[in-house]
Amino acid sequence: MNYNQNKTNIADLRISYTKAKLNIEETDSCPIKQFEKWLDEAIEAKTIEATAMSLATVNESGQPSVRTVLLKDFNSEGFTFFTNYESRKASEIDSNQNVGICFFWKELERQVIITGSASKISKEASEKYFKSRPIGHQISAWVSTQSSKIPNREWMVTREKELINKFSDGAVPCPEFWGGFQVLPREIEFWQGRKNRFHDRIIYRLEKTNWLRSRLSP
């Protein structure tokens, strides 16, 4: 069966990327600073969920899986996101720290790909961020047995009510099974879409303690 019987032919859907260019000389010698510049521009451009990133992990059989998470912090130590430590992604990271991250800022015709290794952040740092979350999100972290099968939506609603009652007297504590991962980058690639698929790709690779920059063919 073909998708496009009476609809738009998706094979004909394409746009030309013309918004900007990326020269190696104009990039910052530090990829974290370059990332900060692009993230700032994505936020300024009012990109929806500018901090949303695809996170790829690999299971013990070598099967990759991918999902979206939100970037909550970054610096030279790495890129931090928060999740359930019993989720599929977390158990995959437990057995294989190698992960991939991809940001796609459509409005700017830009992509950033990060390759690195993920590890848990400290309990204190997770608790600090957990405290800053809206209470509804804090309760959700307790309710969700992320990635496990559940009977139906009502099961969650009932659990939510029980937990709201349980924590009605004070602050909601950060669950033991919830916290952050920090991805320490080994490679960071900046991709700028160009006309006729002549895209610009600048990759930074960590050699010992130095970031080396090169241009890749599109």
Ligand X SMILES: Cc1cc2nc3c(=O)[nH]c(=O)nc-3n(C[C@H](O)[C@H](O)[C@H](O)COP(=O)(O)O)c2cc1C
> Which residues of the shown chain bind ligand X in the complex (CB under 6 A)?
49, 52, 65, 67-70, 81-84, 87-89, 146-147
* Tokens representing residue 73 in the block: 């912090």
How far apart are alpha carbons 109 and 113 in whole angstroms?
Answer: 14
CB 150 within 8 A of CB 87: no
Where do we find the tokens 């690999």?
58
Which residue's CB is nearer to ligand X, number 27 or number 138?
138
Shortest distance (Å) from residue 41 CB to ligand X: 20
Please confirm, yes or no, whether 197 is among the known catalytic residues. yes
Shortest distance (Å) from residue 83 CB to ligand X: 3
Which residue's CB is nearer to ligand X, number 69 or number 102?
69
HEC-encoded secondary structure of 132-146? HCCHHHHHHHHHCCC
How far apart are alpha carbons 30 and 212 in whole angstroms?
Answer: 9
Which residue's CB is nearer to ligand X, number 117 or number 146?
146
Shortest distance (Å) from residue 40 CB to ligand X: 20
- Residue 142 backbone dihedrals phi, psi, to 5 degrees: -70, -40
**Catalytic pick from 14, 67, 197, 213?**
197
Contacts of 141 (CB under 8 A, 6+ apart): 84, 130, 133, 174, 175, 178
Shortest distance (Å) from residue 52 CB to ligand X: 4
Which residue's CB is nearer to ligand X, number 32 or number 90?
90
Active site members = 197
